[in-house]
Every structure is written in C-alpha cells, then in structure tokens.
Amino acid sequence: MGFTRAELESFRDTEVPDLLPAPGRPLRLLFVGINPGLWTAAVQTHFARPGNRFYPALLEAGIIDRPVDPAAGMTDADREALRERGIGITNVVARATARADELTAEELRAGGERLRRLVAEREPGVVAVAGITAYRTAFGERKAQVGEQPSPWGTSRVFVVPNPSGLNAHDTVATLAVAYAGAARAAGLLPDARG
C-alpha cells in the first residue's frame, strides 16, 4: 500500500482514535506518541509510517507475540490482542501533521493536560511517553531524562521512552526494545529481568 504526497496531505489535521481496552478492563501500559503522522491518519493505526520501529521493538521486547504490519492498517485481531494484554496507545496531540516539529508548544501543553485527564480516568499502571523533547514541553519538565520519572501521575508510574520514528537515528529496534521492555516489566506485562 502506498500514498502519493497529495493523498497524504489530505489527512493533515485528521485525528486517530485512542486504542484502549474497554472501560472496566485493566489498562496496564499506555504508550503515548507525540501526534499522528499523515500515514498513521490515513490508515487509522498508531505508529504506522513505514520505517517506524514501534511494532518491531514491541515484538523484540516480547510485549507482543506476533508481527504487526501497521503500514497497511492494523487488523481488528491486532487491536484486540493489544487490548487483551491491557495495552493502550494514544498521543499527546490528536491532530496529524507531517512532522512533530509542526506542533506548537501551546498544543503540546494542552495535549499534556488532556493526557493527564485520561490517565486520571483510566489509571494505567504505567504511562510510557515516546519522545523526550515533546515530554519536556508538554509537561513543563525541562530537565526530564529518558527513563522512569521521579513523580507518578496519581497511581500511574511514568516513563519517557525513545521515540520510534525513523527520524530518531539515535536508537535501533534493539535499543527501543530494551526501553519498552523496562516499561512493560514495570506494568507487569513481562517477567522481572532479575528473576
């Protein structure tokens, strides 16, 4: 499946719904992207752009047990497999852009407030925000570092993990898998590495 640049541009500002377990079912681990890209908006699947390493890293970490081809659009079975494990996906900002740097600081802060409300309502065990720069802006934590944050949000532990976008050249599928596995272990989705 492919799109022309004009086709992708037609999805600018489109929103992608949150992928969450049904109310009443546990939300153990909530992954948070910065905002949807145009390909993600086109196929209505989080982290869908070809070359994005999110799902390969989840597979390598053992968080999912079968490959997901999000570029064509996640299947209902893929979505249900995540929900069944208590995994959700959302974004700080809902609107799609070609690049995250098109977002304003005001949008990121407003999105951060919305995310905190969602976390207060659904009480995930762990929140994993993918992207340190956006995290710092959205939550006013200028000195935040990648890893678990010192202050939980209510009962939810908060991690900042590397962004899986192909634009983030510092990380590989293997290093992303290590970071995502740490958040998943904290959420009780993977066995403790020490045990």
pLDDT surpasses 90 at 9: yes
At 51-98, the pLDDT tens digits run: 899 999 999 999 999 999 888 889 999 999 999 999 999 999 999 999
Which of these CATH numbers, 3.40.470.10, 3.40.50.970, 3.40.50.150, 3.40.50.2000, describes 5-186?
A: 3.40.470.10
The predicted pLDDT at position 71 comes to: 85
Which whole-number Å values give the CA distances from 139 to 47, 122, 132, 157, in the listed order?
22, 19, 11, 15
For the chain, give every domain's residue range: 5-186
**38-47, 110-119, 165-174: segment of lowest average pLDDT:** 165-174
Contacts of 124 (CB under 8 A, 6+ apart): 27, 28, 29, 30, 88, 156, 187
Question: What's this model's pTM, rounded to 2 decimal places?
Answer: 0.95
Dihedrals φ, ψ of 45, to 5°?
A: -135, 125
Beta bridge partners of 89: 19, 31
